[in-house]
Chain A
């Protein structure tokens, strides 16, 4: 459970993060996609040539824990847009938008990668802002927050398929929710949980490459479930399928 208090996130920090986000998504418009190896990637820890883009569009399907949804068991789909932008010295920027229209998650982060034969490793740090609103069916609710995700990825290239294992920590920096005229905030820097993903990236048909992944998240707070106002201080389990088509 998040511990709530009535303090606010610093304005300067929010402006800096918003600027970073806008800059990354807007930076380099007009440059063309380019891959050093010829095989595009999104999650695989590989080197992206400087000033080149890699885009992907797909979907995620998360099964919320029955502790929260109780009788209803569904795989909640979300649109998943990913953009990478190459930087010098094995670095690149990673921007991602996950949207269910009523709730959205926008992240921007940096990656560094290193290859060793068929293996490669990557390290990254993402800063995410999420927000949601619900004003129908007995709800007059909205919420938003900031989450950080430090991550490590290990990759293995079989030749036909690129396999990867990514693990990331989930750090909740800020949470605010409203119901009607009432408001609750928290800026406790909280370690909320971890996620682990196995994925493969490969050609599907002709030059179309796909990401096909399975991610499990053990966390006390998952932004995608904000409207259920969880009170559990327990690590709940969220399995998630990820499918992405590289553009």
Chain B
């Protein structure tokens, strides 16, 4: 891992920890409320591919990149109790590798999640669990290029802390585990997100 992603990771982590130190209050639909709201989470950060990546056959030289960018778009319905329901998408870079010599090639893999998400606020932290599909995008550059997509079953789990900026706006730090189970792909994400109460009724 190069120094730059490390510095970015550290900065994001500090932001997250700072967020935890400030009591957050941008929570519609806490128990006892009679209001409903729609809350959007939009943000981005880093994705680190956590499990063993795929590669060329044994014996072929290979060089991996396992840290990349990721983004999240999520809309949650906050009813008048603890449990919330929503949809999540976004994008995450999983990993890429260069392989072989004369000719050499390159493979990269990324994913777009499409998940149904449930969440609860416990201990002042929003906990998210999602299930659905990942749209995997694989790109090969070796004696021509191939750009192919496929679906994979998957899930995600995340913990997020929101620091309120105004009545309807907040800044959140989120740690998220993405898992496309069918292809055994998993990434840990650290993101900063803008939390926006879109609608309240």
State the A residues within 8 Å of B (CB). Answer: 61, 63, 73-75, 160-161, 202-206, 210, 212, 241
Contact = CB atoms under 8 A, between A and B. Distances in A.
Given A160-B31, A212-B118, A241-B131, A202 B82 contact: yes
Which 6 residue pairs are nearest across A and B when measured between Cβ atoms?
Answer: A205-B79, A203-B81, A73-B182, A160-B82, A73-B153, A204-B83
B36 interface: yes
Contact of A205 (B36, B120, B153): B36
B81 A202 contact: yes
Contacts of B79: 204-206
10 contacts: A73-B152, A73-B182, A75-B131, A75-B153, A161-B82, A202-B82, A203-B82, A204-B85, A205-B36, A206-B80
Contacts of A210: 83
Contacts of B31: 160
A71 B182 CA distance: 10
Interface of B: 31, 36, 79-83, 85, 118, 120, 131, 152-153, 182
Contacts of A241: 131
A73 B183 CA distance: 11
Given A63-B153, A73-B153, A203-B82, 9 more contacts: A75-B131, A160-B31, A204-B81, A204-B83, A205-B36, A205-B79, A205-B80, A206-B80, A212-B118
Contacts of A74: 153
A212 B131 contact: no
A96 B27 CA distance: 37
Contacts of B83: 202-204, 210, 212
A212 B127 CA distance: 14
Nearest to A204: B83
Contacts of B85: 204
B133 to A, nearest CB: 9
Nearest to A161: B82
Contacts of B36: 205
Nearest to A75: B153
Nearest to B120: A161
Nearest to A243: B118
Given A73-B153, A75-B153, A205 B81 contact: yes
B80 to A, nearest CB: 6
A202 B119 CA distance: 13
B185 to A, nearest CB: 14
A203 B31 CA distance: 9
Contacts of B80: 205-206
Contacts of A205: 36, 79-81
A204 B85 CA distance: 9
A241 B36 CA distance: 26
A204 B84 CA distance: 8
Contacts of A63: 153
B44 to A, nearest CB: 28
B93 to A, nearest CB: 23
A228 B31 CA distance: 46
A136 to B, nearest CB: 25
